[in-house]
């Protein structure tokens, strides 16, 4: 099996031009095939304000009504995605900017309304790993914006962590996949206020203990749930690390490595 690295970069790094430049420079040096999935950051909120579109967040998640859908498609699939692609080209990475709709690679469905109506939010149904593998065989590096589409042809706003996990799981049928979540912390922290309290290895048992104690909470829980699910479904390695430590983390000398 060939080696593949799937990297997800968080919105806080997208929002910081210097941090993004450092991250993309490190991403460009990763050996072998690689895929980048990026979040949206605060740019969509800023553009929405300029356009007079109201932003509504519940539990840290964006409510994507029709006007906001237009904004996130423009910002995530256009401005952010193409800026990343252009910068990777300058680093000699032949990147191709994509959404799930492109080449029908990630089909989703509109999230059903339960307690909260998230609007045009997409839950992933299927990933076409064969088509993604075709891009890789052409020496292209896919760069995915956090957008998918449904069977009716509607674009959907989709959680980037979930997208990265779904791509990694489906690609693991072809490849030995390392999934890396990069963000602004050095890994999973034993003490949320101490950036140096990185947990080097995290098992499901240890994860449960930290959740019970409250040291792992809030937004880290869905990220880790996605990560452990990916391991169970065939991904070889999952790493959570600081965006500045991507290269070291892939060599297992930084960040938190998840184990079954």
CATH number of the domain within which 106 lies: 3.40.1160.10
Q: What is the pLDDT of residue 41?
A: 80
Question: Is residue 28 domain-resident?
Answer: yes
6-10, 59-63, 67-71, 251-255: range with lowest mean pLDDT: 59-63
The token pair that represents 58 in the structure block = 């519940």
Q: Give all strands (DSSP E) within 39-82, no chain letters.
A: 57-58, 61-62
Q: Check if the beta carbon of residue 88 is closer than 8 Å to that of residue 144.
A: no
- Indicate the number of domains in the chain: 1
> pLDDT per residue over 241-254, tens digit each?
999 999 999 998 89
- In terms of residues, how long is the chain? 260
Q: Check if the beta carbon of residue 158 is closer than 8 Å to that of residue 216.
A: no
Question: Is residue 259 domain-resident?
Answer: no
Question: Would you say residue 177 has pLDDT above 90?
Answer: yes
Residue 177 to residue 137: CA distance in whole angstroms:
16
Largest CA distance in the chain: 50
Question: Is residue 95 domain-resident?
Answer: yes
Q: Check if the beta carbon of residue 132 is closer than 8 Å to that of residue 96.
A: no
**Host domain of residue 180:** 2-184
Predicted TM-score of the model (pTM): 0.96
Q: Looking up tokens 């900017």, which residue turns up? A: 97
Question: Is residue 192 domain-resident?
Answer: no
> pLDDT per residue over 89-122, tens digit each?
999 999 999 999 999 999 999 999 999 999 999 9
Question: Is residue 103 domain-resident?
Answer: yes
Question: Is residue 70 domain-resident?
Answer: yes
Mean pLDDT of 194-211: 92
Q: What is the pLDDT of residue 24?
A: 98
Question: Would you say residue 192 has pLDDT above 90?
Answer: no
Question: Is residue 107 domain-resident?
Answer: yes
Residue closest to 13 by CA, chosen among 79, 78, 84? 84
Percent with pLDDT over 70 in the chain: 100
């Amino acid at each position: 099996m060939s080696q593949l690295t799937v990297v997800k970069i968080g919105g806080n790094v997208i929002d910081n031009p210097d941090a993004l430049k450092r991250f993309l420079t490190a991403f460009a040096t990763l050996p072998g095939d690689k895929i980048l999935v990026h979040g949206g950051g605060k740019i969509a909120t800023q553009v929405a304000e300029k356009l007079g579109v109201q932003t509504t967040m519940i539990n840290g998640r964006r409510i994507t009504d029709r006007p906001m859908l237009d904004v996130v498609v423009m910002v995530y699939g256009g401005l952010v995605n193409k800026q990343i692609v252009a910068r990777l080209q300058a680093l000699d990475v032949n990147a191709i900017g994509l959404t799930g709709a492109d080449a029908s690679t990630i089909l989703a469905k509109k999230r059903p309304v339960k307690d909260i109506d998230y609007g045009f939010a997409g839950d992933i149904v299927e990933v076409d790993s064969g088509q993604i593998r075709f891009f890789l065989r052409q020496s292209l590096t896919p760069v995915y914006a956090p957008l998918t589409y449904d069977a009716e042809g509607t674009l959907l706003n989709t959680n980037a962590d979930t997208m990265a996990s779904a791509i990694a799981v489906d690609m693991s049928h072809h490849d030995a996949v390392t999934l890396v979540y990069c963000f602004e912390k050095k890994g999973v922290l034993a003490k949320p206020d101490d950036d140096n309290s990185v947990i080097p290895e995290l098992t499901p048992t240890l994860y449960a203990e930290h959740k019970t104690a409250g040291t792992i909470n809030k937004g880290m829980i869905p990220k880790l749930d996605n990560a452990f699910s990916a391991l169970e479904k065939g991904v070889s390695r999952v790493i959570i690390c600081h965006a500045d430590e991507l290269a070291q983390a892939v060599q297992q000398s930084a960040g938190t490595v998840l184990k079954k």
